Amino acid sequence: MSWSKLKQQLESFLCPALYGRVEYRATSYRYSPDKAGLCYITVDKKNVLNMSDTTTLIRWYQTELEIKNDSDIQIPISNEEIEAVRKDTKGTVPEDRLKVIARSRKISEHAKGLLSAQSTLSKSNFIVVANKFLSISIEESIESNDILLNILALVDRRVGKKRILNMSEMMKLKHPSVQYFYELRLSTL
């Protein structure tokens, strides 16, 4: 499918409040057919997500330690996770320390997932992911670990107000770029 048709289809799925604010852009190299062009997403004419550029408005993590030390990341800890730590330590650790250990484990797991998703995004082809988005259900896109599929689903008109509001807990565990588009969508409700 040509870029213009793909762009037209993606923009036809934009929620009405974001139409004209969110744009899909692409550049190509006329005299270099072996070079793929760059695809990026702009919000209010500002380049917000460029998959091959780490200098966009959204924070890109370089290491797991950066994620662990980021105070903006809030990881909810459940009682089951605390119980798992208690079981692993055979009950010899004080109660307040159990929460710290459980949080540390969950942050490490979360950091690895974020870095993995981020590296997948930087290697992915926007056009391939966009075509996949158009061919799968909106639920699959929302639940996917692919950052780009999440973003395309969040700005989609088929995702209603109630579903957006119910996603708040799930969004805390997503990459900052997905959180940015979630906040953008919340601002339109």
Dist CA 110 CA 102 (whole Å)? 12
Global pTM? Answer: 0.67
3-class DSSP state for residue 162? Answer: helix
**Which secondary-structure segment (H or E) carries 49?**
strand 46-50
What value does the mean pLDDT take over residues 86-92? 84
pLDDT band at residue 153 under the 50/70/90 scheme:
very high
Q: What is the pLDDT of residues 29-58, one digit of tens each?
A: 665 555 555 677 888 988 887 765 444 555
Partners of 26 in the β-ladder: 39
Q: What is the pLDDT of residue 154?
A: 93
Lookup result for tokens 């969508």: 185
**Rounded mean pLDDT of the chain?**
80
Beta bridge partners, 23, equal 42
Could you tell me the residue ranges of all domains in the chain? 3-62+126-187, 64-115
